[in-house]
């Protein structure tokens, strides 16, 4: 392939280039697999946090008590404020997880694009 700097049309050069491209494809594919694994773990943790912590915390009925007189007033206000703060902190944590998942998805997309470029060049040899 004389259009590539340092390349020529010899079979030896083509074979070396094929080996190089196959190696790069394999290397990048391993990275994609690893990132997919991290993404799955993060998504699982996000879902568990949502199901086991966020939903119960944000939907817990603070008024359910046997001593309503003791609960009413300042204690009730304090409980509602604490519940709101806790739910907000959990939301922020879960938002951070989703941001990381988005970055992982972007990296996977970039790697897959590069793999496609290598595969196209390999197919043209």
Domain ranges of the chain: 11-124
In the structure encoding, which two tokens stand for residue 115, read together? 């793999």
pLDDT tens, 1-54? 444 555 567 999 999 999 999 999 999 999 999 999 999 999 999 999 888 888
The H or E element spanning position 24 is: helix 11-49
Q: Report the alpha-carbon distance of residue 33 to residue 52 in Å, rounded.
A: 28
* Whether 54 contacts 94, CB under 8 Å: yes
pLDDT at 1: 43
pLDDT tens, 65-80? 656 666 667 777 888 8
């Amino acid at each position: 392939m004389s259009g590539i700097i340092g390349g020529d049309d010899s079979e030896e050069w083509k074979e070396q280039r094929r080996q190089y491209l196959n190696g790069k494809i394999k290397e990048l594919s391993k990275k994609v697999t690893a990132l997919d694994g991290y993404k799955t773990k993060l998504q699982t943790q996000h879902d568990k946090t949502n199901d086991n912590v966020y939903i119960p915390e944000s939907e817990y009925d603070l008024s359910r008590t046997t001593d309503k007189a003791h609960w009413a007033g300042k204690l009730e206000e304090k409980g509602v404020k604490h519940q709101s703060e806790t739910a907000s902190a959990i939301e922020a944590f879960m938002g951070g997880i989703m941001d990381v998942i988005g970055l992982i998805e972007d990296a996977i997309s970039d790697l897959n694009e590069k793999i496609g470029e290598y595969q196209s060049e390999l197919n043209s040899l």
